[in-house]
Amino acid sequence: MENLWPRIEGLLGQATRPSRYINHEYQSVHCKDAEYRAVFAYPDVYEIGQSNQAVNLLYDIVNRLPGCAAERAFLPWVDMAALMRERGLPLFSLEGMWPLTGFEMLGVTIPHELAATNIIELLDLAGLPHRSCERLDDVAGTVDNASGRWPLVVGGGPAAFNPEPLAPFFDVIAIGESEELICELVAKHRAWLATPGGRLNDLLCSLAEVEGIYVPSFGSQRRVRRRVFGGFAEELLPKTNIVPFCETIHDRLAIEIQRGCSRGCRFCQAGMTYRPVRERPSDMIVQAAMQGIACTGFDEVSLVSLSSTDHSHIEDILRRLQQCFAGTGVSVSLPSQRLDAFGVDMAGLVAGERKSGLTFAPEAGSQRLRDVINKNVSTDDLLLAIQRACEGGWRRCKLYFMIGLPTETDEDVVAIADLANAAYIAAKDAVPQCERGKIRISLSVAVFVPKPGTPFQWSGQLPLAEVSRRIGLLRQAGLAKAISLKWHDPQVSQVEAVLARSGREVAELIEAAWQEGASFAAWTERFDYQQWLVAAERCGIDLDAAAADDYRMDEPLPWQHIETGISQRYLEQEWQCALEGQVTEDCSFARCTECGVCLTADSGGQRPRIVLEGERHE
């Protein structure tokens, strides 16, 4: 394979941030001799993709498999992509600077819905036909492992729980957690490559047997069960961490301390699709943090998970890490704050004097609506948390809300302003008179996007016109001067909803939008609604209807064949509870509510929180 570096380097003088493309970062793995080569590509620029845990995890795992080598690839920014196209240079892997077409397998992360057009851009820049059927054209049944020209294109990631919109572009899609799945996939692929005359169909059939693997070309009749990594608590992965040169969005050592969240917020896809909750033992975490800092030289370690402060030993972990990094200039961070006094105390433990701002997500303004979405926090919780934060030295906080949640009324919208104003008063009361002017509260409001696999999966999105009216309501609701209000572009949320909840028919829309120039749609400055409107018109798709129409309970959903492990009955029941405003308790701290994930014979139906023996709080 040709090493493209000399030709790529020739372009760097004209590219923004050349460090995105230089590779050779500390602890990256290079030019390993291998008979099987995989490249893991992330459909965004280096600083976003290299911050993604999945890429690092898969890279680490496959590089450790005997006879295998893994490399990484990221999408170049638009300026570099244009230069590459001008010179006829294809997308390249970082380590070997090889064209992606030279690998046995191309793994592509599907991080979120808006990455869809970037995935097309990635395939296109790599020089691959976009659609799996064009690559695997085997009508005559003649394609075998000797004549196949393209890498096996595998997708997977958080947005794959409805794989249909992107299904035609992938040969196989991994549903769920990939730590073990990737090893099985590689083993089967290698075995097939080594079989003389192996037919393509044989490969796909054998891959379809792996739990969690969906083969889109076999259609959506076959049910696919989400893969869960059972060994999460036993081992800390990735074992090594790459130290980037280019500043990434999460430029620190990340340690995944827990997987899954059982709080049960009804809008939250991750909360439903990463169950059950699994914790890594505190000793393992502390040791990994110390060792990780020593071998990478990072000055910050982040304890990541969906809700890190819910780890049953979080306080102990934070105190020990505080102690071992004292005086070294190394800090510890938590990605999110739990909305109560304990959350603030934990944030206080790691923040030191760097009290720049706290972020809370009450999501809804009224207690009624918070009950509907099962966000089990009360106004008092929030006010107490704010008070505690201000007493602890914070002066700024950010509150996240959603608009257009199922059953939302005008009163609920106005209640967002009331809650924010109450938070401001609580903050003012908690600080000395002379400090009051420093208090700033910023509200960040986004339109609710219904996600597959959640109790709200049947619900449509609020139509754009109604969104505008409700935004108007909130604007006029009389926010205190110190409170700023920011909107997440509703048109972006609409496109997100279309891509999240439609079937295979929107694959055409994705390709058309890409042709219209839509790439890096998740970047505010790059999103252009017009491109999507034109594309939708071309494909005969009504964006408004695709986003806003409800699904009937009795009609098949486009993602019906994907089993997340949460039972249909549970989702229906949760939807019913939502309509009645009834809350469901968190199974980590109360009884099992029988969502279906842990209902195995040997657990007797009760396995609330998976931790190793001796780690449980008494």
| Only segment of 280-288, 303-311, 321-329, 602-610 that touches another protein (CB under 8 A) | 321-329
Give the separation between CA 516 and CA 534, rounded to whole angstroms: 8
Angle, helices 200-208/181-194, rounded to nearest 10 degrees: 160
| 299 interacts with another protein by CB under 8 A | yes
Give the separation between CA 335 and CA 341, rounded to whole angstroms: 17
| 303 interacts with ligand SF4 by CB under 6 A | no
Residue pair 497/542 in contact (Cβ under 8 Å)? The answer is no
Identity of the residue, 254 or 510, whose beta carbon is nearer to another protein in the bound complex: 254
| 324 interacts with another protein by CB under 8 A | no
Residue 597 interacts with, from ligand SF4, another protein, none (CB under 5-8 Å by kind)? ligand SF4
Residue pair 586/264 in contact (Cβ under 8 Å)? The answer is yes
Give the separation between CA 357 and CA 552, rounded to whole angstroms: 42
Burial class (CB within 10 angstroms; exposed 0-12, middle 13-18, buried 19+) of 125:
buried
| 6 interacts with another protein by CB under 8 A | no
* The pair of three-digit structure tokens given for residue 420, joined into one six-digit string: 């924010």
| Only segment of 58-66, 296-304, 401-409, 572-580 that touches another protein (CB under 8 A) | 296-304
| 262 interacts with ligand SF4 by CB under 6 A | yes
Kindly tell me which residue out of 283, 607, 612, 615 binds ligand SF4, with binding defined by CB under 6 A. Answer: 607
Kindly tell me which residue out of 6, 88, 327, 540 binds another protein, with binding defined by CB under 8 A. Answer: 327
| 581 interacts with another protein by CB under 8 A | no
Kindly tell me which residue out of 201, 217, 444, 593 binds ligand SF4, with binding defined by CB under 6 A. Answer: 593
Alpha helices in 329-463 (DSSP H): 341-351, 367-372, 379-391, 410-430
- Taking alpha carbons only, the member of 228, 297, 215, 291 closest to residue 255 is 291
Give the separation between CA 448 and CA 234, rounded to whole angstroms: 37
Question: Minimum Å distance from CB 290 to another protein?
Answer: 12
Q: Which amino acid is at 159?
A: A
First to last CA, the chain: 58
Compose the 329-368 pattern: x for residues touching another protein by CB under 8 A, - for all others. xxx--------------------xxx--------------
| Only segment of 63-71, 133-141, 235-243, 593-601 that touches ligand SF4 (CB under 6 A) | 593-601
| Only segment of 44-52, 54-62, 197-205, 262-270 that touches ligand SF4 (CB under 6 A) | 262-270
| 589 interacts with another protein by CB under 8 A | no
| 265 interacts with ligand SF4 by CB under 6 A | yes
| 9 interacts with another protein by CB under 8 A | yes
Residue 50 interacts with, from another protein, ligand SF4, none (CB under 5-8 Å by kind)? none
Angle, helices 464-475/490-501, rounded to nearest 10 degrees: 140
Identity of the residue, 19 or 442, whose beta carbon is nearer to another protein in the bound complex: 19
Phi and psi, residue 259, nearest 5°? -120, 140
Kindly tell me which residue out of 154, 447, 518, 597 binds ligand SF4, with binding defined by CB under 6 A. Answer: 597
Identity of the residue, 241 or 262, whose beta carbon is nearer to ligand SF4 in the bound complex: 262
Identity of the residue, 189 or 263, whose beta carbon is nearer to ligand SF4 in the bound complex: 263
Burial annotation 98-107 (CB, 10 A radius, 16+ → b, else e) = bbbbebbbbb
Kindly tell me which residue out of 75, 547, 587, 611 binds ligand SF4, with binding defined by CB under 6 A. Answer: 587
Strands, E, within 209-270: which ranges? 213-214, 224-225, 253-256, 258-259
| 405 interacts with ligand SF4 by CB under 6 A | no
| 249 interacts with another protein by CB under 8 A | no
**Which are the contacts of 238, defined by CB distance < 8 A and separation ≥ 6?**
56, 57, 59, 60, 61
Residue 5, CA distances (Å) to 22, 23, 98, 475 in order: 9, 10, 8, 53
| 243 interacts with another protein by CB under 8 A | yes
Give the separation between CA 529 and CA 513, rounded to whole angstroms: 10
Q: Which residues bind ligand SF4 (CB under 6 A)?
A: 261-265, 268, 270-271, 275-276, 306-307, 587, 592-599, 607-608
Which residues are near another protein by CB under 8 A?
Answer: 9, 12-13, 18-19, 21-24, 26, 243, 245-247, 293-299, 327-331, 352-354
